[in-house]
Amino acid sequence: MSQISISSEIRGIYLASVGFSLFALGDAVFKYLSPDYSIYLLLFFNAAFGLSALILASPWLGGLVATLQTTQLKLHLLRSVLILVQISLVVYGLSQMTMAKTYAIVFTAPFIATLLAIPLLNDPVNKMQWLAIAAGFAGVLVILRPGFLPMDFVVLGVLISALFFSFVNLIARFMRHTANTMMSWAFYPNLVVLLVTGCWLNTDIVMPTTEHLGLLLFLGVSSSIGAMLIAKAFICASVATASSLHYVQMLWAILLGYFIFQDRVDLWTMTGSVVIISSGIYLHHLAKQQ
């Protein structure tokens, strides 16, 4: 393993696995509450609870003062704006499609991230990696079946979210050698989301029920922890390795979709997902051999 040690790579694997699992649980809450509340109201409470949890835990996450004194403010703000757009598109996709299909489309992100890492991070990509990338996108085509299914705004929006998610994680990798507190990776995205959605909603804020407030509290805390763990994973491990752990979410999507939302995964989505996940795992295997 060049540049990144094996121990660091393994640490990145564990961090990404837990982080993406927390994201899946949070996405299930988004989907569950989406019929009752607007996307921006959900994002507002998610950011409010997430930011509150971060501030309370700040002494163990690098400190609030040190977080505010970052030398990478512009990059943090850029990353935060990308996250706002990305999560808005994903939540909209979850409200209109099954978790499994939404995730299958979002799973183009590891392939996009690997491609973007070539010009942006000078990461090498060999012939076998190109083959894995091509197979991954072929799996997406199996799911979407262009020409047979309409390419509506929901699908296009989720595809765009995958591109934004790739940029978010590449920015984290680019910032890995700078002095950032653990708290900063989730603090600035939550702050930007809170300010933007708060201005968007203005005074039109509907208070959720007590039960829903509990779910939103869990959502805010799990999303913040997941964001920090994933950002740290992309610092510890290679882009290909950390990105490939994104597939943990598909397992959660199938389980949560079946038991909570009574979703059924059709043959096309299952076949395409298997192709995408297999390609991603192979891409991860190739990255480890470099």
pLDDT (tens, 9 = 90+) of the chain, 290 residues, equals 445 566 788 888 889 989 999 999 999 999 999 999 999 999 999 999 999 999 999 998 899 999 999 889 999 999 999 999 999 999 999 999 889 888 888 877 777 877 887 777 777 777 887 888 888 888 888 877 765 656 678 888 998 999 998 888 888 877 876 767 889 989 999 999 999 999 988 766 788 999 999 999 999 999 999 988 988 888 887 766 776 777 788 888 888 988 999 888 788 888 888 888 788 777 766 766 65
pLDDT value, residue 1: 45
Examine residue 1 and state whether it is found in any structural domain, yes or no. no
CB atoms within 10 A of CB 199: 9
**Beta bridge partners of residue 146, listed in sequence order:** 149
pLDDT value, residue 80: 95
Examine residue 137 and state whether it is found in any structural domain, yes or no. yes
| DSSP structural state of residue 147 | T
Angle formed by the axes of helices 109-121 and 127-144, nearest 10°: 140
The model carries a pTM of: 0.83
pLDDT value, residue 145: 75
Examine residue 99 and state whether it is found in any structural domain, yes or no. yes
> What single-letter amino acid sits at 214?
G
Question: What does the alpha-carbon distance between residue 285 and residue 237 come to, in Å, rounded to a whole number?
Answer: 13
Question: What does the alpha-carbon distance between residue 228 and residue 173 come to, in Å, rounded to a whole number?
Answer: 13
* Runs of H (alpha helix) within the chain: 6-33, 39-56, 64-68, 73-96, 99-106, 109-121, 127-144, 153-174, 184-201, 210-236, 239-244, 248-259, 267-289
Question: Please, are residues 151 and 144 in contact by the beta-carbon 8 Å criterion?
Answer: yes
pLDDT value, residue 190: 95
Placement of tokens 């703000």 in the chain: 77
Element spanning 70, H or E: none
pLDDT value, residue 289: 63
Q: Which domain holds residue 136?
A: 6-289
SS3 146: strand
Domain total of the chain? 1
Side-chain half-sphere exposure of 156, counting CA atoms within 13 A: 4
